[in-house]
Amino acid sequence: MVFSTLKLGLLGLAVTEGVRVKMNSTTGWTQGTYTTGYWDCCKPSCSWPGKGHVNHPTLSCDVDGNKLQDANVASVCDGGTASSCADNKPFLVNSGLSMGFAAAAVGGVNGLNGDENCGQCYELRFTDEKHDPSGDNWGGSHPDLAGKTMVIQVTNIGYDVTGDHSFDLQIPGAGQGIFDQGCKKQFPGHQSGDFDCDNNYGGCDTKSGCSRLPKALQAGCEWRYDWYRWLAAGGQTNNPYVQFRRVQCPSQLTDISGSVPTDDASHPAINVNDYGPSPSPTPHTPTPAPAPASCTSQDKDPYSTGSEVQCCDGLQKCLGDWSGNGNWNYNCKKSCGSSLLSHKRTLGKAHQHIQK
């Protein structure tokens, strides 16, 4: 990852601003930091041995999507075969809560310290703060995002991210940054520009761009527009501000990463039900069976349902060769007429036909 100090929110770049970070030592919440997004397919920094205090390094994947237990396989961004797993994309838990993975900033005023943070989980609450409030007053959370929460696990380190920039969220389609060759190696058949709509810093502007990504990444890309509300209106969401605190890693994340901090039990656990109801599956409404006919209409077979349905008023049940192909059957007619006489003369023939 690489970030510029240019104040261009639409490009999704990190911005160096006046520091306004505050940490409450009593509650553990840090306020006044902002986030960005990226997806470069490189092997996560926390997938290497000796990072953080965890039971196992973060799992990386080979180009076929298989989890790698060997933490020493080189990155696709450095001539190897190890990459970020496609299941590291963000996902919805309920209306007020999403989960995913992120790179943590290093050496800033936000209390994050690089490799020490590998494997740790943080609760991020999106706030309604904007960038440069005394000037351009740009970006920040869309109103639909402000107040919602994302729980992330640190799987990467942003060595070039400082100041009041805290986390770089892993979001497919959000921009590859300087490492723009790894994704096409992980997903042969795609070009580099497919992974961020030819915009290395900021990525795709609209949801339609997600269709260029591999199928395995499209849901995570679409999350950026559906829940995160990227550039939905008024230049928001764009590099949203958060307040954050360390929490116990939920199994929804550690089951993916394969990595659990050794001090996890000393931090508060979250209850996903506190953030909103789980999304309900679209109920299946069975197609109602057609109501049985109350009577058989003209020129129809009263036995077509398998049992007799009386002819409608004014009609008679008549037997005849109605199709002229030698197949005799009943139809409802206004009058059997000559067919009735034919029925009487050929009843035996009809019965003989039915018995064959």
Active site residues: 40, 168
Rounded Cα–Cα distance for residues 286 and 76 (Å):
48
Query: Do residues 71 and 49 touch, judged by C-beta distance below 8 A?
Result: yes
- Cβ atoms within 10 Å of 151's Cβ, excluding its own: 23
User: In the structure encoding, which two tokens stand for residue 142, read together?
Assistant: 């869309």
User: In the structure encoding, which two tokens stand for residue 155, read together?
Assistant: 């799987």
Beta strands in the chain (DSSP E): 22-23, 30-38, 60-61, 67-68, 91-94, 97-105, 121-126, 149-158, 165-170, 241-247, 316-320, 329-333
Rounded Cα–Cα distance for residues 73 and 309 (Å):
74
Radius of gyration of the chain (CA): 33
Token match 């306004």: residue? 20
Query: Do residues 37 and 168 touch, judged by C-beta distance below 8 A?
Result: yes
Query: Do residues 103 and 158 touch, judged by C-beta distance below 8 A?
Result: yes
What sign for the dihedral angle of Cα 165, 156, 189, 225?
A: negative
